[in-house]
Amino acid sequence: MTIPTDSRPAPGPPVPTGTASGTGTGAHSGQGTDPDTGPDTGSGPGSDFARLSRRIAEAGLMERRPGYYALRLTLVTAAFAAGWAAFFALGDTWWQLAVAAFLAFVFGQIALVAHDLAHRQIFRRRRPSEIGGRLFGNLGVGMSYGWWMNKHTRHHANPNHEELDPDVAPDILVWSTDQARSSRGIARFLGGHQALLFFPLLTLEGFNLHVSSLRALRSPSMRQRPLEAALLLLHLTAFLSALFLVLSPGRALAFLAVNQCLFGVYLGCVFAPNHKGMPTLTGEDRPDFLRRQVLTSRNVRGGRFTDLMLGGLNYQIEHHLFPSMPTPHLRRARLLVRAYCAEIGVPYHETGLLRSYREALTHLHRVGEPIRRQRGRK
């Protein structure tokens, strides 16, 4: 696997350059992680991933956890109800900004439940997973389940591949020096100082999710488009109506800003440690499934509180290898996966939460160097 030198994590474990040993054919660009069939491993029964998969299955880590999810869904739903009960009880007061902050956290937890539903960690069958995903995603937080599934499936199939992973496509930010050199418009304007701007920009992410969800409704290929549209409209109507009926216009706008800005920051803080600052792939870089997932992902160490706040995505390596593995099994799977990676000589990167943000921001600063250099010549 050829790893661009500007894309290595800093600081982090050594990542092999050249061709990774044991690589296979990988997946073709049109393939992905189909939630119906599981990950496209591009590997035979004797592959590195197949051997790991057998160990995971023998440990019972792919078995469903209905009790865990029943409790989790109950608690998240209760928190959602409690937040809105407090909102209506308080009335028109600036104390509502505390409710806005609390509901931002709850919305993040709802989004994480929708994520687990989409990966069929809760239900084995697609239909109940889709129903739950649309209820929690579209209706709960105003995020299109269909749009997110399309984007997230492509990400899982080709994590950190600059041409195939939408999460590292150049947009407002650039993720490699090649992207920085060819950047135009707002990406070029911001790219030189994007590390400093990263967390402030996350305040816009909540709004961006709503806008992207609504724009995706124009695509005729979206499944259940009328249902998606109806649920999104119902969420937006109910949410905005509650704000402007209970609060004065100024307080309603303040509530909206605090809630959506903190929601965006929370989601960004959950997802940023996963891959940002890890190696990126380009062109024909096609390592086998196991290496494609492990070498581009980062785990975050922590206890149960970290698991709660990050929704289990702190075990990003295990999640990418086994997307349908229930969240409570990821902690145990980590021990098996880490030992197996050491056994076959594949680097396994794990760090603390604050260090993960530092690595991501260091990477963003480094890849923006071409933009800063060109500005310095003017």
CA dihedral 122, 127, 130, 133 (to 10 degrees): -40
Q: What confidence tens digit (pLDDT) does each residue in 53-108 have?
A: 999 999 999 999 999 999 999 999 999 999 999 999 999 999 999 999 999 999 99
Alpha helices by DSSP H, listed for 91-169, are 96-118, 126-134, 145-157
- By C-alpha distance, which of 215, 239, 237, 240 is closest to 225? 215
Q: How many CB atoms lie within 10 A of CB 293?
A: 26
Q: What pLDDT score was predicted for residue 375?
A: 73
Q: Distance between CA atoms of 171 and 107, rounded to whole angstroms?
A: 25
Contact between 330 and 116 under an 8 Å Cβ cutoff? The reply is no
Q: What is the mean pLDDT of residues 34-52?
A: 64
In three state form, how does the secondary structure of 181-236 look?
HCCCHHHHHHHCCHHHHHHHHHCCHHHHHHHHHHHHCCCCCCCCHHHHHHHHHHHH
Q: What pLDDT score was predicted for residue 207?
A: 96
**Residue 38, strand partner residues:** 34
Q: Is 287 helix (H, G, I), strand (E, B) or coil?
A: coil
Mean pLDDT, rounded, of the chain: 89
- By C-alpha distance, which of 118, 332, 295, 363 is closest to 223? 118
Q: What is the mean pLDDT of residues 359-371?
A: 95
Domain boundaries, the chain: 1-13+47-378
Q: What pLDDT score was predicted for residue 30?
A: 33
In one-letter notation, the amino acid at residue 353 is: L
342 pLDDT more than 50:
yes
Contact between 146 and 138 under an 8 Å Cβ cutoff? The reply is no
Q: Which helix (H) or strand (E) holds 350?
A: strand 350-351
Q: What pLDDT score was predicted for residue 284?
A: 83
pTM over 0.85: yes
Q: What is the mean pLDDT of residues 163-174?
A: 92
CA dihedral 67, 272, 223, 143 (to 10 degrees): 80
Q: Is 41 helix (H, G, I), strand (E, B) or coil?
A: coil
Q: Is 300 helix (H, G, I), strand (E, B) or coil?
A: strand
| DSSP calls for 61-109 | TTS--HHHHHHHHHHHHHHHHHHHHHHHHH-SSTTHHHHHHHHHHHHHH
Residue 135: alpha-carbon gap to chain centroid: 19
Q: Distance between CA atoms of 183 and 358, rounded to whole angstroms?
A: 24
Place of tokens 């803080």: 269
16 pLDDT more than 60:
no
